[in-house]
Amino acid sequence: MLQRLFVLLALALLVAVPLLARPAAESTAREARRLIIVTPHNEQIRAEFARAFDRWHTRNFGEPVAVVYSTPGGTSEIRRMLQAQYRSDLRAGRPVGGAADLVWGGGSYEFGELKKPIEVEAAGADGATEVRSTTVIEPIPFDPSFLRDVYGEENRIGDDPLFDPSLYWF
């Protein structure tokens, strides 16, 4: 009898220790704001950023934020997906903007492609064909002195720019 009790106690301890020893879960309430990021990056990068950003946002704004990732593939697949989504919205007359707040990954080529205008022909309100145009990404008007502080005067690593001079990507 004592041997069975010992085995049950050991089994309970085996189950309880990992549950008690794990780090406290990050508090992200159901009603937390959501930050949606499209990325090709791996789980480790995504998890580290989500935890750190939630802590930063809670500390600075007094509320948690849930970081939600969309990982549809590599950078080229992400670019093609976004371009197709924007074309579809333009044709249908829906507002463009996508479901993401940020796009990670890629480099100057991919983001250069995303800043090029997308044009479609569609029937206008009067039935006549019209050309509708947009870009997937929009410029962000950062102060030039801030960019110099962050990136330095040259805006280069080797032959590649660190940010787009038109401020479409960073």
Q: Give me the chain's average pLDDT, please.
A: 86
Q: What does DSSP assign to residue 143?
A: -
Q: What is the pLDDT of residues 31-59, one digit of tens each?
A: 789 999 999 999 999 999 999 999 999 99
Residues 46-69: b if buried by 16+ CB within 10 A, e if exposed: beebbeeebeebbeeeeebbbbeb
75-92 and 108-115 helices, crossing angle to 10°: 0
In order of 52, 136, 156, 170, the CA distances from 160 in angstroms are: 29, 22, 5, 12
Q: What is the pLDDT of residues 8-32, one digit of tens each?
A: 555 555 565 565 655 555 444 567 8
**65, 35 in Cβ contact below 8 A?**
yes
At residue 38, what are phi and psi to the nearest 5 degrees?
A: -90, 125
- The span from the CA of 163 to the CA of 154, in Å, is 10
- Its sign, for the CA torsion 25, 31, 37, 40, is positive
Q: What is the pLDDT of residues 84-111, one digit of tens each?
A: 999 999 999 999 987 889 999 888 899 9
Helices (H), 22-143: 43-61, 75-92, 108-115
E strand residue ranges, the chain = 33-38, 65-70, 102-103, 118-123, 129-134, 156-157, 160-161
In the three-class reduction of DSSP (H, G, I as helix; E, B as strand; rest coil), residue 61 is classed as: helix
Question: Against a cut of 0.75, is the pTM above it?
Answer: no
Going by pLDDT thresholds of 50, 70 and 90, the confidence category of residue 1 is confident
Among 69, 74, 76, 6, residue whose Cα is nearest residue 38: 69
In order of 19, 68, 84, 112, the CA distances from 72 in angstroms are: 33, 13, 13, 20
